[in-house]
Amino acid sequence: MTNQCGTSRIAGCQFTLYPMSDNFVDIILSALDEVDSSKVWKDTDDVSTCIRGKMVHIFDVTEAIFLHAAKTGEHVAMSGTFSIGCPGDSSGDVYMDETDEPQNQANIQSIEQEAGCKFALYPMGREDYMEQIMNQIDLSKSRGVKVSASHYATRLDGDVKDIFRTLHESFDQVQQEVSHVTMTFTVSANSPSNR
- Binding-site residues, in ranges, read 17, 49
Identify which of 181, 195, 194 has the alpha carbon closest to the alpha carbon of residue 58.
181
Stretch that binds a second copy, among 59-67, 96-104, 126-134, 158-166 (CB under 8 A): 126-134
- Does 46 contact Ca ion by CB under 5 A? no
Q: In the window 14-43, what residues touch Ca ion (CB under 5 A)?
A: 22
Beta bridge partners of 38: none
* Residues in contact with 144: Cβ distance below 8 Å, sequence separation at least 6, in sequence order: 158, 159, 162, 165
Distances from the Cα of 115 to the Cαs of 86, 100, 166, 187, in angstroms?
30, 27, 13, 7
Distance CA 190, CA 38 (A): 29
Known binding residues for thiamine are 17, 49
Is residue 94 involved in binding a second copy (CB under 8 A)? no
In the complex, the smallest distance separating the C-beta of residue 21 from Ca ion, rounded to whole angstroms, is 6
User: In the 8-state DSSP scheme, what is residue 40?
Assistant: S
Q: Judged by CB under 8 A, which of 38, 91, 105, 109 binds a second copy?
A: 91
In this structure, are residues 15 and 77 in contact, taking their beta carbons and an 8 Å threshold? no
Asked if 45 touches Ca ion (CB under 5 A), the answer is no
Partner whose footprint covers residue 70, from a second copy, Ca ion, none (CB < 5 to 8 Å by kind): none
Spatial distance between the Cα atoms of 90 and 82, rounded to a whole number of angstroms: 17
Kindly list the residues in this chain that would bind a second copy in the complex (CB under 8 A). 1-5, 12, 14, 16, 18-22, 24-25, 43, 45-48, 50, 52, 75, 77, 79-81, 83, 86-87, 89, 91, 116-118, 120-122, 124-127, 129-130, 133-134, 137, 139, 149-155, 182, 184, 186-188, 191-194
